[in-house]
Chain A
Amino acid sequence: MNKLLEWPKISIALLALPAVLLIGLPLVAAVWLIITILTQNGSQDWLLFLSVGSVLTGLVYSIALAIIPTLLALYSAFWLLARMTKPPAWMAALLAIPHVAFAIGLSLLLLPGGWISRVWLGLDLQLQIPLLTPFLSAIFTDKSLPFLLVTLWLKELPFLLLMALIVMQQLPVREWQQVGASFGYRAPQTFWRIIVPQLVRRLRLPIMVVAIYGLAVVDVALVAGPNLPSPLAVQVLQWYQQPGSELFAALGSVVLLVASALVLLLFRGHEWLHGQCARLAVTRGVNIAGQATLPSFVQGPGIARLRKFLAQLPFAAFLVVQIATVIALLLWSFTAAWPNTALLPTSYSVANWQWEWQPLQEVLWNSLWIGVVVASLATVLVLLMLEWEYQRGKRIADAYMLLPLLVPQLPLVMAWHMHVAPFTLAAPAFWLVWAHTVFAAAYIWLTLAASYRNFPNMWLTQAATLGYSAPQRWFKVRLRMLAAPIVLAWSVGFSVSILQYLPTLIFGAGRILTVTTEATAYGSGFERSLAAIYGLAQIAWPLIMFVVAAILANKYRVHTIRGA
C-alpha cells in the first residue's frame, strides 16, 4: 500500500475500536448466554421444555418459514429474470415497504374480506358458481401458516430479485447468452444452465439472511401467522415477557440458535445440490433435435411482439401485487363503510386519521429521530471500520460484520438484554439506539463495503501529489467521490432502523413506541382501518428517505474535485 495515503495508525485504530465493540459486545453476550444455559441446565429442564406441546410444532413452523419462502422467493426471482428484459429502475423502491406494512397490506388483499377475495366472491356470485372463493378461504383462513408463508415469499421476492440483478451486472450475461445461442440453446435454457448456478453461489449471503429472518420472524408472524401454536420465535418472546417463564425463553432461544445452524447447513447443501444438478444438465448437451421449430405463421414480427408481451406478464403481475398492497392500505385508512359484497368502499372519511393523529405524531417523531441517529451513527462506524481495514491492508471478515444477520435476532437481542437489563431502565433510548445500530450497521456494510473497497487508489495518489494531507484526501477525495453510495447506504440504515421490532420492544420496554411496534400491535388485532394507518405510517419514512437519498445520490454522482 502507498504509505503516502495512510492516516496515523494509532488514531484510526482508536476510532475503529468503538465500532468493533459495538458489534462484538452483543455477540459475546449471546455466546455467554448459550454457555450459561448449557452448563447450568440439566436434562430435567430440557425434558420439561420439550414436553410442552407447542414447542415441537412451533419449531417445525419456524423451520418451514426459513426454508419454504426462501426457496420460493429465490426460484420465482430466477423464473422472472429468465423472462424479463429490463426491470424498471423504481423497483428498488419496493424494498422501502417494510415487512409488517406489507403483511398488513397483503392481509387486506387476500384474507376473507380483503380486496382480492371480494373480487372472487363477486365473480362467483355473478356466475353463480363457486369458483375460487372456497379455495381462497380454505388456504387463506384468517392468519394461518399458509398465509404467513405466502407473505414472506412475496416480501422476500423483490429483495432476492434485486440482489440477483446486482450480481448479474457483474457477470458477462450478454456474451454467455450469445455463446449459448450459437450452440443452439434458447435464452432461458442458457439462463438456467449457466447463469443460475453462478447466481445461487454468489447469492449465498442474501439467501442465508432471508432464511434466518424467516426462522426467527416475530413481527410478521404476529400480523399474519397462526396463533395456536405460534412459530417458536413468537413463543420464545411470549415466554420472555411472561414473568416466571424466563427459563423456557432461554432454552427456546438455544433451540432457535441450533435450528439456525441447521438451516444454514441445509442451504449450503442446497447450493451444492443445485451445482451438481446444473453440472448434470450442462454435460447432457444441447437438445437441438428436440427443439420445436415454430410454424411459419407464428414467426412474424407481430407474433414475436405478442410473445414478448406475454413473457412480461408474470413480472407485471408481481408488480401489481406489490403495489396493490399499498393501495389496499390507502383505501382502508380512508374507509368509513365497506360492505362485504362491495368491490370498493361505499363511503370514505378522514375521521380515522383525525382520531389517530395525536398518537401517530408521537410514534412518527420517535421513529424519525431514532432512524436518523441510528443511520448516521452506523454509517460513521462502518466508514471507520472500512478505513481501518484499508489502513491495515487486511480485510475484516464480512462474516463478523454480518453476523447479526446470520444469527436469529431474538436470541441475540434477548441475551444482550438479559445482561444489561438493570441499566436499560435508566436510559432505554441509549440501549435502543445501540441495538438498532448493530443491525443497521450490518446492512450498511452489505451496501457500502464493495464500493469502498473498490475505490481506485489512483485518485488518492493524485491528491497526495497535489499536496493534500491524509485527512484532506479522505474528506475531499474519498468521501466526496463515494458520496452517492454513502447516501444510499445511509437510507438503507434508516429503513432498517424503522423496521426493527424486537430491539424496540425489548429495550424500549413500552416506553418508546415506534411506527413498527404500533403497526405490529394493530396489525395483529382486528381493527383494519387502524392497522392500515400504521402500515402506511411505517412505509412513509423509509419511502421519503429513499426518494431523498436517490435524488442526492444522483446529484453527488458527479465526480468533481475542487483545488486544495
Chain B
Amino acid sequence: MLQLNNVVITLKGAKQPMLEVPQLSIAAGEIVVLMGASGSGKSTLLNWLIGAPLPNFQCTGEVLLHGAPIQQLPMEQRHIGIRLQQPWLFPHLTVLENLLFALPRDFGSRHQRVQHAEHLLTAFNLFAVQKQLPDTLSGGQAARVSLARALINNPQAMLLDEPFSALDKATREQIKTFTFNHLMQAQLPCLLVTHDSGDCPTGARVIHV
C-alpha cells in the first residue's frame, strides 16, 4: 500500500500551497487518478514521490510504502516505478538490453535473466522486436517496452505521468487497456496523473486537484 499523509507542495517564495493531499491511501492493485489542469503540481508530486531533486519547491509530508516511511530514502532505494509521457528508452540499447538493464542482478544467471526478459517480451507481444533499437519501434511498441521495463524491475508501487499523451488516438486506447490490465495483474498500488478524463480506467478512484 502507498500512503500519503499531509503532503503540501509550495513553490518557493509563494504564500499559497500549490497542491495539498491531506490523506491518500492506494491499495495493492488499485489505480488512483489525480486529475487537474497543467501547473496544478501533479507532476511535481510524482517527482517528489520518486525522490527527484526539486530546487524550486518546498515539499513536506509523509510517504509510506507498505507502512515504512520512504521520504528520506534516496531515489534508487524507494523501489517506485515511474512511467513518463515519453517512454525514455535508452537509444543505444536494444529492446532486450533495455529490459536487462532494469532486471535486478540477483535474479539469476545470465541465461535465466535473458529467459525471463524474453518471457516478459513474449507476454507483451514484443518478442519479435527484442533485437531492435528503440528508434525503429512504433509509438505503441515503445510504450509497451517502457512498461515491461518498469515491471521487470519488480517495483513496489507505480506512478504514471500522463503516460498516453504522446500516443495517437488509435494506439492510445489499445495501450491504455494493455497498461491497466498489466498493472492490475501485478497488484501494484498505482497513482496516475493526467489532465484528460479519457485516460482514467473504468471504475478508478478520481481525485480532482
Contacts and interface: CB of A to CB of B under 8 A. Distances in A.
B80 interface: yes
A179 B82 contact: yes
B102 A285 contact: yes
Interface residues of B, number: 35
B171 to A, nearest CB: 21
A293 to B, nearest CB: 7
A496 to B, nearest CB: 33
A178 B82 contact: yes
A178 B105 contact: no
A179 B88 contact: yes
A184 B93 contact: no
Interface string A429-451: 00000000000000000000000
Contacts of A283: 97, 100-101, 110, 113
Nearest to A185: B76
A286 B50 contact: no
B162 to A, nearest CB: 14
B25 to A, nearest CB: 22
Given A179-B88, A182-B50, A293-B77, A288 B105 contact: yes
Interface string A3-23: 000000000000000000000
Interface stretch (A75-83, A121-129, A190-198, A527-535): A190-198
B84 A175 contact: yes
A182 B82 contact: yes
A279 B90 CA distance: 12
B27 interface: no
B209 interface: no
A181 interface: yes
Contacts of B78: 182
Contact of B101 (A282, A290, A291): A282
Contacts of B110: 283-284
Contacts of A289: 104-106
Nearest to A85: B53
Interface string B35-52: 000000000000100111
A201 B90 CA distance: 14
B93 A282 contact: yes
A315 interface: no
A53 to B, nearest CB: 47
Interface in B94-120: 97, 100-107, 110, 113
B76 A299 contact: no
Query: In the complex, which of the residues B75, B92, B101, B150 has the most CB atoms of chain A within 10 Å of its own CB atom?
Result: B101
**Contact count band on A:** 20 to 34
A176 B90 contact: yes
A183 interface: yes
A186 interface: yes
Contacts of A286: 101-105, 153
15 contacts: A175-B88, A178-B50, A178-B52, A178-B82, A181-B75, A182-B75, A184-B77, A185-B76, A283-B100, A283-B110, A288-B104, A288-B105, A289-B104, A290-B105, A290-B106
Return the 6 tightest CB-CB contacts between A and B, nearest first: A181-B75, A283-B100, A285-B105, A287-B105, A285-B103, A183-B102
Contacts of B81: 182-183
A288 B156 CA distance: 14
Contacts, number: 100
Nearest to A283: B100
B55 to A, nearest CB: 10
B155 interface: yes
B86 interface: yes
Nearest to A300: B72
B78 to A, nearest CB: 8
A298 B154 CA distance: 28
Query: In the complex, which of the residues A184, A185, A201 has the most CB atoms of chain B within 10 Å of its own CB atom?
Result: A184
Given A183-B102, A285-B113, 7 more contacts: A172-B88, A180-B76, A181-B76, A184-B79, A184-B104, A286-B103, A289-B104
A183 B100 CA distance: 11
A96 B184 CA distance: 59
B74 interface: yes
B106 A299 contact: no
Contact of B76 (A176, A279, A285, A291): A291
B92 A198 contact: yes
Contacts of B75: 178, 181-182, 187
Query: In the complex, which of the residues B75, B76, B77, B84 has the most CB atoms of chain A within 10 Å of its own CB atom?
Result: B76
Contacts of B93: 279, 282
Contacts of A194: 90, 101
B192 to A, nearest CB: 16
A178 B50 CA distance: 8
A282 B47 CA distance: 25
Nearest to A293: B77
A13 to B, nearest CB: 36
Contacts of A287: 104-106
Contact of A285 (B47, B50, B86, B100): B100
A275 B90 CA distance: 14
A401 to B, nearest CB: 27
B76 A186 contact: yes
Contacts of A197: 92
B72 A285 contact: no
B190 to A, nearest CB: 14
A197 B114 CA distance: 22
A279 to B, nearest CB: 7
Interface in A266-287: 275, 279, 282-287
Nearest to A184: B76
Given A183-B153, A282-B100, A285-B113, A299 B50 contact: no
Contacts of B80: 182
Interface in A199-230: 201
Nearest to A288: B104
A449 to B, nearest CB: 23
Interface in B129-166: 150, 153, 155
B88 A285 contact: no
A138 B91 CA distance: 47
Interface string B54-71: 000000000000000000
Interface string A459-492: 0000000000000000000000000000000000
Given A176-B88, A179-B82, A197-B92, A284 B77 contact: no
A336 B75 CA distance: 57
Interface in A1-50: none
Nearest to B154: A288
